[in-house]
Amino acid sequence: MCNTCGCNITPGNEHLVQGDGRHAQTTDGKAAVEVLQGLLSENDHQAAHNREHLDHHGVLALNLMSSPGAGKTRLLEATIEALGPELRIAVIEGDLETENDAERIRAKGVPAIQIATGSACHLDAHLVHQALHHLDLSQIDLLFIENVGNLVCPASFDLGQHRNVILISVPEGDDKPAKYPVMFRAADLVLCSKSDLLPLMPEFDPERAERHLRALASTAPFESISARSHADLKPWLHWLRDELQAQRARLELGRTIRPNHQRDGEHRSGLTGMAAPGHHHHHHHEPAHTHG
């Protein structure tokens, strides 16, 4: 979590710390800490609303995270090509600047909302909330949120998604999980992307990368994939179909699920009760399941 680079304040939440905003005035020298805690609390509150909104429309939302250039957008293009005929897909794209990635997705015939974060190196729940207003959720089965390329800050911000998917690409090296433990502990799935490059880069050992992941007490699935062919995407496509089926089963029971989420050493995940369409609000709490 960056407490000093200013990344906590985004175009989506800046109203809370400006002018008469709820967190514009603080009481003493602990101002920075209070503002940070206030913004994180506001973020989690908005994320819960986002998730409720997505659940109401039966949408499964996935947060894709990785370092820049690991292949998130290319993976989405290939996923749309493979699943487009059977599932209704939409994408929210997060980048500091440009609409380049959203334009690539739209070229595949899928709605894409671009969020320009400016100086903020992550998406937050307020920004995602604004983007959701531009999508017809009743026409979506699967919503991908492509986060800003960064292996630090995005892990600390719940967006209202149901699952976290983290990419580690072969050219990056196999020690990424060891270097960025907070991010990889937040994973519900880790994809080793650009696996077609493995013959050219024998120094990358997928088994070693997975050992680094397991050393974090993570039980998240680890799959090697390549976006170059549908055959090399099979583990990813199978996981997506299973997750969508599981989400629909949860919604039938009036339940939802939060992704693995970690902040400042915190580790929480699990099913929570929700007011599903046509259900009274019963709190069907199941024991939170953690990956470690």
Mean pLDDT (the chain, rounded): 86
Per-residue pLDDT tens over the stretch 8-41: 677 787 777 776 666 665 555 456 667 777 888 8
Q: Tell me if the pTM is above 0.75.
A: yes
How much is the average pLDDT of 82-107? 96
* Residue 89: band (very low, low, confident or very high) from pLDDT cuts 50, 70, 90: very high
> Which domains are delineated in the chain?
30-273 (3.40.50.300)
Q: Which of 197, 194, 239 is nearest to 83 (CA)?
A: 239
pLDDT confidence of residue 194: 98
Instruction: Give yes or no for residue 58 having a pLDDT over 90.
Output: yes
**Range list of H helices, the chain:** 31-56, 72-83, 100-106, 125-132, 176-179, 181-185, 206-214, 234-252
90 has which bridge partners?
143
Instruction: Give yes or no for residue 250 having a pLDDT over 60.
Output: yes
Measured between alpha carbons, how far is 234 from 167 in angstroms, rounded to an integer? 16
Per-residue pLDDT tens over the stretch 122-162: 999 999 999 999 999 999 999 999 999 999 989 989 999 99
